[in-house]
Structure 1
Amino acid sequence: MKKIALLFFAAFLSVQAFSQVKLGFKFSPAVAFNSAVTERDYDVVGKNGSGLRFSAGPVMDFFFADNYAFHTGLWYTVKRSGIEGTVKGTNLSSVYNMQYLQVPLALKFFTNEIATDMKIYFLIGGTLDAKLAEKPLDKPTNYIYNSVNGKNAFRPADAGLLLGAGSELIMGTNTAVFFGLSYNRGLVNALGNNVKNGSDRVNDFVKVRNSMFSLDLGVKF
């Protein structure tokens, strides 16, 4: 978490290197889900549904040309992670809420105006995620929660692919609103080493990657 905060601070100090900087805030309701890639006896394990979650926080666009910017920010993001399936007589069904502090690192491309004071933007890059908390749902029947004996079940950090597109509408000299869609795909197996099924370490056989499909709403100044 300290490394992510330092990275965000370094980006803030680099303002002078860019011709224009836009600061803002975004709120993104999202559908959160995960994949579950399995092998051997764990091939019967799959993802355990999806759910509505959100991401919110400040955003920064550092313009190095009229239609090109480096995009970053600092977001509080809630993801959902779950698996289900029975292996060796054990029901592994579990769902967690995962809370992260995210730093996006992406390139943002703008079109010329497609209508008065309106542009289309495209976003490509990634995110660095530091876990703030993991919250088990349905504790009595949550296998992962009951198997780790109070230890952390998930890794402390994640990284993801970030893709997005949307529209930006200029509302005045220094103000713009934006709305769009984005996809954040986890690239790291989120399961930690503490989740066991007998002598098996579950993350050796089940790769869980958390993802979100978001509606992005925000304002920039």
Structure 2
Amino acid sequence: MKKPFLALLLLGASAGAASAQVEIGLKISPSVTYLRADSPSALNFQNDKSKLSLGGGLVVDYFFGQNYAFSTGLLLVSKGGTVTYTDPALVVLNPNDPASVRSQKIGLQYLEVPLTVKLFTNDVATDTKVYFQLGGSIGGLISGRINGDKRYTDVGNQKESESVKHFIIPDAAALVGAGVEYQLGQSTKVFGGLSYHRGLVNIEKYFDEERGFQDVSLKNNEVALDLGLKF
């Protein structure tokens, strides 16, 4: 009784392995990034400017059906943007004094792992499919700059600190995207699409810990053009 049951399990595993397919490739993603800022009105944290960024790396699509795949990889991505805020230490007589409004141009680099599902249509034209991508990503901060520098001197308290230490290391985002994939050869495909990455984590820690600002929140946002080649 055990032998036929074992044979059936092995047959099922073999069939699953035969139907599974892994596609590996590379992609490059020019993007527009910005920071969603929130704070009490007295601090008036605001998103001021977006940032042109560039990312890319390895992509892996693991198909567990003809038209759907688990998509992951390892990417080096740049994020950030420019924020403005009112520094209470610089407000002396006139709370509307422009000198009390500070600006930070923030540039961050992350190593990121997408955790998504891709859904493919049947061919909409010869060797051409449309795909939809849904899921999220997790990342770790590896470098950071404020106003282009690795070190930052705070005008409010005259202290110097490493720019990267103003932010927490982990980041996470929800991801949604869509695009087109074209079969060039037996195993070569090119793809292009758009994706939106909405940050879920407050990445800021400096103002809370060093300046005593309460309820300041900065979250990454990104709109990316995804261009790639799978082998």
Alignment of 1:162-201 (within 5 A): 162-192=175-205, 194-195=206-207, 200=212
Alignment of 1:32-111 (within 5 A): 32-42=33-43, 44-88=44-88, 89=91, 90-111=100-121
User: Letter of the aligned partner of 2:84 in structure 1?
Assistant: E
What SS does the aligned partner of 2:162 have? coil
What SS is found at the alignment partner of 2:124?
Answer: coil
Partner residue of 1:155? 168
CA shift in 2, pair 1:176/1:199, >3 Å: closer
How far off is 1:129 after superposition? 0.7
Contact 1:97–1:136 under 8 Å retained in 2: yes
Greater Rg by CA:
2
Deviation at 1:141, TM superposition (A): 8.5
CA distance in 2, matches of 1:104, 1:144: 38
Moved over 3 A (4+): 138-148, 196-199
Shift of 1:205: 2.2
Q: Percent identity between the aligned chains?
A: 36
Relative to the length of structure 1, the TM-score reads 0.83
Instruction: Give the counterpart letter for 1:36 in structure 2.
Output: A
1:113 aligns with 2:123: yes
Note the C-alpha offset of 1:93.
1.4
Offset at residue 82 of structure 1 (A):
3.0
Q: What stretches of structure 2 of length at least 5 have no aligned partner? A: 1-16, 92-99
Residue deviations 1:20-50, cap 9 Å, x none? 00000000000011110222422x2201200
Mapped contact 1:71–1:108 kept (Cα < 8 A): yes
Distance 2:153 2:203 in 1: 17
Paired AA for residue 113 in structure 1: D
Q: Summarize deviations over 1:53-89 as a string: whole Å, max 9, x none.
A: 0110000000000000000000000111432022322
The 1:141/1:135 distance shift into structure 2, 3 A limit, reads closer
- Give the superposition deviation at 1:130: 0.4
Q: Deviation digits for residues 143-180 of structure 1, max 9, x if unmatched?
A: 49965623700001100011110000000100000000
Does structure 1 retain, via aligned residues, the 8 Å contact 2:152–2:160? Answer: no
Do the aligned partners of 2:107 and 2:144 also contact (CA within 8 Å) in 1? yes
| Separation in structure 2 between the aligned mates of residue 56 and residue 48 of structure 1, nearest angstrom | 26
Aligned to 2:20: 19
* Worse-matched range after superposition: 22-31 or 84-93: 84-93
What is the count of residue pairs matched by the alignment?
203
The answer for the alignment partner of 2:8 in structure 1 is none
Which ranges of structure 1 fall in alignment gaps of 5 or more residues? Answer: 1-15
> 2:153 touches 2:160 (CA, 8 Å); kept in 1?
no
> Once superposed, what is the RMSD of the aligned Cα atoms?
2.6
1:75 alignment partner AA:
L
